[in-house]
C-alpha cells in the first residue's frame, strides 16, 4: 500500500509533483487542464464500454491521457525555474 501512496503523491501532491517547479498560478492551470483531460478520457472510456470497437477507442484515449500527463511532467522537469520565470515575467506582446 505505501507504493500506491507514493504514486498518488507524485501526481496529486503539489510538493512532490514535477509541477512543483512551476509558479503557483501555472501549476493550477496545468492541473486544471489535466483534470479536464482525465475526466474526458474516463467518460469516453466508460461511455463506450458496451461496444468493442469503441472500447479500443477508449483504450487509445486512456493511453493518450497517460502519455500527455507523462510528457507534461517531463517537460516541466526539464525546464529550469529561470526559464519558467523569464517567460512569466516577460509575456509576449
Is the residue at 8 inside a domain?
no
Residue 93, pLDDT > 80, answer no
Is the residue at 35 inside a domain?
yes
Contacts of 34 (CB under 8 A, 6+ apart): 68, 69, 72
Is the residue at 7 inside a domain?
no
Is the residue at 74 inside a domain?
yes
| Cα-trace Rg, the chain | 16
pLDDT-derived band at 16, boundaries 50, 70, 90: confident
Total tally of structural domains belonging to the chain: 1
Range of the domain at 69: 24-88
Is the residue at 14 inside a domain?
no
Residue 92, pLDDT > 70, answer no
Is the residue at 1 inside a domain?
no
- The pLDDT tens digits of the residues spanning 37-58 come to 888 888 877 776 667 676 778 7
Amino acid at each position: 500500500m505505501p507504493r500506491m501512496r507514493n504514486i498518488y503523491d507524485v501526481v496529486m501532491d503539489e510538493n512532490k509533483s514535477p509541477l512543483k517547479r512551476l509558479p503557483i498560478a501555472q501549476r493550477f492551470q496545468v492541473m486544471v487542464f489535466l483534470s479536464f483531460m482525465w475526466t474526458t478520457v474516463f467518460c469516453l472510456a466508460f461511455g463506450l464500454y458496451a461496444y468493442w470497437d469503441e472500447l479500443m477507442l477508449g483504450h487509445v484515449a486512456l493511453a493518450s491521457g497517460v502519455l500527455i500527463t507523462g510528457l507534461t511532467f517531463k517537460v516541466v522537469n526539464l525546464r529550469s525555474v529561470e526559464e519558467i520565470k523569464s517567460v512569466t515575467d516577460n509575456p509576449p506582446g
